Chains A and B, each alone.
Chain A
C-alpha cells in the first residue's frame, strides 16, 4: 500500500457521461498530481493542486476539471466522455516532490463504451 488511495479502481461508462475520480493523498502530503496513461499518448501530466490551490496545468482538456478539498483529498471530474478518454488515471502525491516523495496511487481504469 503506497498510502495514496484512488477510487474506484475500475469504471465503465458510456460516451457523453460524466464521472468523478477520487484521490486521497499520503498523510502529510500537500500536493496532488493527476496523470493520464493511454496507449497512444503515454503518461501525461494533467493538473496539480497544492494545499487546495491549483498549482500547475498540463495537457488537461476543457472537459476535465479537478479540485482539492480542505481535507486534501482531490477529485478529477471528466465530462462529455469520449471513447478516446479511456485510459488509466493516476493520482500522485508529494510533500516537496524530492527523492522518493512522489507516490502514486494504484490508478483508476476508465473504459468509455
Chain B
C-alpha cells in the first residue's frame, strides 16, 4: 500500500531564510506522482509543485523546488526566501501512476514564518 510520511509537525523559519519540509513515501508502483499543497488558515488547498517518478530533473516553481531522491524515496519541498504569507499547513501527496488516480496525503507540516 502507498504511504506518505511527514515527520515534522511544525517548522519555524525567519523571513528571507530557506526552509526544507520533509516528505518520504512508500510505494511499489514504478510510476507515480508526487505533489505538494499549501493550506492557509482560510482552508483552501493550493497546488504548489509536482514531480513525476520518471522525471529526470527536480521540479521547480518560482520559490518552490522539490528535492526528489528516488532511491531514498524522499520528496522534500524547499521554499527559498520565506515570506510571512508562507505561514500555512503544507501537505505532501502521492498518486498511483501518473494519471487519474486519487491522492494519498501525509499528515502535514505547519510552517510558521516570523519577521
A64 within 8 A of B: no
Per the CB 8 Å criterion, the residue count for chain B at the interface is 24
Q: Which A44-85 residues sit within 8 Å CB-CB of chain B?
A: 44-45, 48, 50, 55-56, 58
B contact residues around A86 at 8 Å (CB): none
Closest Cβ of chain A: how far from B34's Cβ, in Å?
Answer: 11
B71 within 8 A of A: no
Report whether A102 and B101 are in contact in the complex, using a CB–CB cutoff of 8 Å: no
A contact residues around B93 at 8 Å (CB): 43
Report whether A88 and B47 are in contact in the complex, using a CB–CB cutoff of 8 Å: no
Report whether B44 and A107 are in contact in the complex, using a CB–CB cutoff of 8 Å: yes
Closest Cβ of chain B: how far from A3's Cβ, in Å?
Answer: 12
Per the CB 8 Å criterion, the residue count for chain A at the interface is 28
Report whether B44 and A104 are in contact in the complex, using a CB–CB cutoff of 8 Å: yes
A contact residues around B108 at 8 Å (CB): 42-43
Closest Cβ of chain B: how far from A17's Cβ, in Å?
Answer: 23
The CA of A106 and the CA of B45, in the complex, are separated in Å by 7
A contact residues around B45 at 8 Å (CB): 90, 92, 104, 107
Report whether B44 and A106 are in contact in the complex, using a CB–CB cutoff of 8 Å: yes
B25 within 8 A of A: no
Interface residues in chain B, defined as those with a beta carbon under 8 Å from any beta carbon in chain A: 33, 35, 37, 43-47, 50, 52, 91, 93, 95, 98-108
User: Given known contacts A33-B102, A35-B103, what 4 new A-B pairs fall within 8 Å (CB)?
Assistant: A45-B102, A50-B100, A102-B47, A106-B43
